[in-house]
A and B are shown apart, each in its own frame.
Chain A
Amino acid sequence: MGNLNLSPITVQAIQVLTIVLFAPLISGVISKIAALIQGRRGPRILQPYYDLIKLFRKETLVPEHSSWVFLMAPIAAFACYLTVPLLIPVLTTFGLPLGYMGDILGGGFILSLAGFSVALAGIESDAPFAQLGGSRAMTFGALIEPTVLFVVFAAGIITSTDLPYAMAATVRSSTSEIVRPAHVLAAIAFFMVVLTDTGRIPVESHSGTIEFGMIDEGRTLEHSGAPFALLKWGSAMKQMILYTILIDVFIAPWGLASTTGLVSVLGAVLALVLKATLVGTIFAIIDNSFSKLRLFKITEFLAAAFLLAALSVLVFFLGGG
């Protein structure tokens, strides 16, 4: 059994399946931990799966004035989230056949396309709060973009490539690669990007029901039934994809499979789920220890993230990176 080798294409399919199947689990664990921190019993860890099953069974209602975009956008976003795991190191240390189809920026573009589709769906819904959410998500998305670019620059100049696999291999190679300022600063900046993009405090309250504070959450207010299930599933997948990039490219690219053997691939799946749970725990703790920033103060948070990312590149060019 230990010698059973999978074909690279199978491994690549397992990468996508890992994200698809375990993303709701990670969300469930995070809300369970958040509940424990707040002294509640909280929902079951598997609750997100039950929610998805329930939503898939419900009927789909479409607002009167919306067009086909309203129904197609969730599918487009979901397809984007299915594509990104092909490009990033989810389970393996080596590039899989389709892994070189796009670089870090390519993955970033596809994630942006997904965000754009969801925002478009919100705006198409003709409901004020969903439109507000859509326009806010685009505004803050534009402000976080420079940080993402500088993080990509940092990864690019450290490895002289634009492949996430190369960055992960560099981090694994020695301790001095981990403590070099360019890497540490870029990793922290990316951590802040993940906080923003997964709608966590200090940027957005994840479990709030107050529409005025909503950014990402607001976009999906008008959806129901299967499209809403796809949106929820998609946002859980986006969260896990971002965690995976943070873990497997920047902070802990250990425990990945170096062969296509069945055992090592399954071990990598387990390692990824454990690491993502750990990162999720950290995010849950942050989520419950700080207060949400006022909407117009979010720019300060994003400016801090940009500062870290820009310093990372600058220090590198000074020869100290």
Chain B
Amino acid sequence: MQAPAPSSFAGISDLIAVLVLLSAFAMFRAQLLRSQVRLYAGQSVLVGILTGFLAATHHIAELYVFGAISIILKVVIVPSVIIRFLDRSETNLSSSTSMGIASMTLIAIGVAVVGLFTMDSIHFESTALPTTALAISVATVLVAFLLAIFRSDVVSQAIGFLSMENGVSVASLVVASGIPLVIDIAFLFDLLVAAIVFGLMMRVHHARAKTLSTELLDRLKG
């Protein structure tokens, strides 16, 4: 018996969610900090597209506003702030990792599988997006988390955190796409605060250590 295909709507939205996950994987491959920031911007564009797609198919006007604000914030403002910081710091253009990219990818696949099947066993039914998107978003969060763990420089760690937030955004689209706009914007405000805090920490770290690498922090005492 042939397995029936999901509807075109479910297929396309799952596909966009998978692309969000893949961009998290692509960050492992990106050695240059600049290209990592660009990947983050691309990932945010994908989340924006998913939001717009959901808004268009479910006729939720508030989601358009939410999508527009989040694109302005996550595609334009946050990446340009980080890029400007990189331009000024002029040190550590690339990141260092202790592991090969192929093995990191394999570990990340393993972690993603855990995320995918954990969420799948919950049997959560959503009216907005297919449940698969929720599982994929959790996998995105875990993979981005792994990025922040593997990389030993402040920019990659910040990008890892921010793309975790992208994963959470997708999850929130699945779970609660109908919530009032005020709450959505409150979440975005949280993100802005996080970006500011990270920006400050990156600056302070760079001013103190004269490098973006966090390897030095292991050696500091008391």
What residues make up the interface of A, taking CB atoms closer than 8 Å to B?
Answer: 157-160, 166, 170, 174-177, 179-181, 184-185, 299-300, 302-304, 306-308, 310-311, 314-316, 318-321
Contacts and interface: CB of A to CB of B under 8 A. Distances in A.
Contacts of A304: 25, 29, 105
Contacts of A177: 5
B220 interface: no
B18 A181 contact: yes
A319 B8 contact: no
B109 interface: yes
B15 interface: yes
Interface string B106-139: 1001001100110010000000001111011000
12 contacts: A159-B3, A160-B1, A160-B3, A175-B8, A176-B8, A177-B5, A181-B11, A181-B18, A185-B18, A303-B106, A314-B112, A321-B3
Contacts of B57: none
- Chain A interface SS verdict (over half): helix
B25 A320 contact: no
B22 interface: yes
B15 A181 contact: yes
B7 interface: yes
B102 A303 contact: yes
B102 A320 contact: no
Nearest to A310: B109
Q: Which 8 A-B pairs have the closest CB atoms?
A: A320-B132, A179-B11, A303-B102, A320-B14, A299-B102, A303-B105, A176-B8, A180-B11
Nearest to B26: A304
B3 A176 contact: no
Nearest to B2: A160
Nearest to B18: A181
Given A303-B101, A303-B102, A303-B105, A176 B11 contact: yes
Given A300-B102, A307-B22, A311-B21, A321 B109 contact: no
B12 interface: yes
A55 B105 CA distance: 45
B66 to A, nearest CB: 23
B101 A179 contact: no
A319 B105 contact: no
B34 to A, nearest CB: 18
Given A160-B1, A181-B15, A318 B120 contact: yes
A159 B2 contact: yes
A307 B133 CA distance: 18
A179 B3 contact: no
Interface in B124-173: 130-133, 135-136
A302 B11 CA distance: 26
B72 to A, nearest CB: 29
A320 B106 contact: no
A176 B7 contact: yes
Nearest to A312: B18
Interface string B9-21: 0111011001001
B222 interface: no
A215 to B, nearest CB: 17
A174 B11 CA distance: 12
Contacts of A181: 11, 14-15, 18
A320 B21 contact: no
A184 B8 contact: no
Given A181-B11, A314-B113, A300 B101 contact: yes
A164 to B, nearest CB: 15
B180 interface: no
A270 to B, nearest CB: 30
B18 A315 contact: yes
A91 B92 CA distance: 55
B109 A307 contact: yes
Given A318-B120, A320-B133, A179 B105 contact: no
Contacts of B135: 318, 320
Contacts of B131: 318-320
Contact of B136 (A160, A175, A315, A316): A315
Contacts of B8: 175-176, 179
